[in-house]
Amino acid sequence: MKIRLADTRGFCAGVDRAIEIVKKVLEMNGAPVYVKHEVVHNKTVVNELKSLGAIFVEEIEDVPDGEIVIYSAHGVSKVVESDSKEKSLDVFDATCPLVSKVHAEVNTYAKLGYDCLLVGHLNHPEVEGTMGQFDTSYGGTITLIETLDDVNKLKFADGKNLAFVTQTTLSVDDTLEITNLLVTKFPDITGPKKDDICYATQNRQDAVKQLALESDLVLVIGSINSSNSNRLREIAERSGVDSYLIDSSDDLQDSWLKGKENIGVTSGASAPEHLVRELINSLEKDYGYSLQGSNEITDEGIAFRLPKGLR
């Protein structure tokens, strides 16, 4: 009975940076420090930062005037930025630079007066932030596209003055279908070469596809609100194997393992590696599986600098 690990898994550069920002700000200023939304979507990380003195809030109005606030890795809207100014908040921005890149694209399209389409998931904080970065005062609009059907319903006359961007943590395959349809329907549409899906999402999806080929069960460590972790579970399931998303080894259920000889394990971009080690330990000690191959993580060669004032 074997366990195999995805060689590309766990923390990405944007998550590493966001957690480091919260820790550094706490170190420099002492507790409490306010954080707008979960800085990254992981229960264990959030609980650890809470224990160090971080207070997580959903609305800027919940931060007392003049206090420090940190924006989460998912980014924020222009309204959040201006509300922070009005309350004289001292802002540290943990928005992932790859999300900021999409904000910059959206800002450019807004200033050109273009209509913009954002391919993404309704209610995800990154989508709320990106939609809210689009300045409609230049005359353009921004529309959320979730499905192929949404594209079919679009009523724009042509692709001139029309652009698209995408959320960074989508399914690469689903997004390709949507962007292909957009380009077919609006040949003149402007957009990124392929999409705005980040390197970490792409690499983890490639790795889980490979892992699923060698497994009859894939366990993904990640929290339920983590977009990229949910996509990993879906991809494994679409490859024809059972797959579960779990926060930690505590969520493991005996019935999932019945008759399973080859277990694949991976983790989302916001899941700490120690949770993977604990899961492997539990599968070995409590269930008699043994880890095959290396437990090393591939170095993706990406690191982001901390904001000024924290370096």
Which residues here bind ligand SF4, judged by CB under 6 A? Answer: 12-15, 73, 96, 98-99, 168-169, 198, 200-201, 228, 269
Q: Both ends of the chain: CA-CA distance in Å?
A: 47
User: Among this protein's residues, is 237 annotated catalytic?
Assistant: no
Q: Which amino acid is at 292?
A: Q
Beta bridge partners of 92: 70
Our separate counts of H helices and E strands in the chain read 11, 12
14 vs 129, which CB is nearer to ligand SF4?
14
Q: What is the C-alpha separation between 12 and 245, in angstroms, rounded? A: 18
Among the options 38, 81, 126, 234, which is catalytic? 126
Residue 304 CB, shortest distance to ligand SF4, in Å, is 8
Inter-CA distances, 37 with 117, 156, 222, 231, 271, Å: 25, 35, 17, 21, 17
11 vs 289, which CB is nearer to ligand SF4?
11
Residue 113 CB, shortest distance to ligand SF4, in Å, is 28
168 vs 223, which CB is nearer to ligand SF4?
168
Question: Cβ distance 156 to 190 under 8 Å?
Answer: no
Residues 6+ apart with CB under 8 A from 135: 78, 107, 110, 111
167 vs 248, which CB is nearer to ligand SF4?
167
Residue nearest to ligand SF4 (CB): 14
Query: By three-state DSSP, how is residue 109 classified?
Result: helix
Give the active site residues: 126
